[in-house]
Chains A and B, each alone.
Chain A
Amino acid sequence: NAGVTQTPKFQVLKTGQSMTLQCAQDMNHEYMSWYRQDPGMGLRLIHYSVGAGITDQGEVPNGYNVSRSTTEDFPLRLLSAAPSQTSVYFCASSYLRGRGGTEAFFGQGTRLTVV
């Protein structure tokens, strides 16, 4: 059981380049999310999805696009990379279990450097 898989693990981009961070989960979870982690700031929500075809913005969505065409995949697109997008990106998936809640499962992260 792979859980949440992110590719690539490392990436260096030049300012203005575009790229897609891939995220796939094999747990049939309805919910998927993207976070970024910066030093001293914890994890901040970029975009999230509650099911195929449904996405919404989180706390820091500017400069990023997402789509959710299948339950399994939730790619994050950087349209024109900027140095401020240098960060570690985490994808997560989860499901809603009544009022009890459930944990979010995280991928291993993508370390992105924009020069």
Chain B
Amino acid sequence: DQQVKQNSPSLSVQEGRISILNCDYTNSMFDYFLWYKKYPAEGPTFLISISSIKDKNEDGRFTVFLNKSAKHLSLHIVPSQPGDSAVYFCAASPWGGATNKLIFGTGTLLAVQP
């Protein structure tokens, strides 16, 4: 039973446009969410996070939106750059922000075309 779902395996976007990556979850106990970026042959690197007490968090070109009633979060990248091409994982934690037991989605491969 997949508790964190990323239903789009891949996404292709033109450079300079907006990339929107989506994530759905089923467990209402999740209260902290993170996005990780992963290049081939490297470990995941942290991108941005959001607590369940917020509905939006921004960091430069990256914004994460959380809709608790819909159990949905999204990552917006504006403007998209070729270097953003990577696999993006959504992750959730039900433990008051403790991130030692993250539950990951299956990832979305983002390709930003020059």
Taking beta carbons and an 8 Å cutoff, which residues of A are in contact with B?
A: 4, 31-33, 35, 40-45, 48-50, 58, 90, 92, 94, 96-109
Report whether B43 and A103 are in contact in the complex, using a CB–CB cutoff of 8 Å.
no
In the bound complex, residues from chain A placing their C-beta under 8 Å from that of B101 are 33, 45, 48, 58
Residues of B within 8 A of A94 (CB): 98-100
Instruction: Decide yes or no whether B34 CB sits under 8 A from chain A.
Output: yes
B: interface residue count bin? 20 to 34
CA distance A96 to B6 in the complex (A): 26
Judge if B106 is at the interface, Cβ distance under 8 Å: yes
Q: Are A32 and B100 in contact (CB under 8 A)?
A: yes
A103, B34: Cβ atoms under 8 Å?
yes
From known contacts A99-B51, A106-B44, infer whether A42 and B105 are also in contact, taking CB-CB under 8 Å: yes
- What B residues does A45 contact at CB under 8 A? 101-103
- The 3 A-B residue pairs whose C-beta atoms are closest, nearest first, are A101-B97, A31-B100, A106-B43
- The docked-state distance in angstroms from the alpha carbon of A86 to that of B42 is 17
Q: Of residues B49, B99, B104, B105, which shows the largest number of chain A Cβ atoms within 10 Å of its Cβ?
A: B99
Complex CA–CA separation, A90 to B91 (angstroms): 15
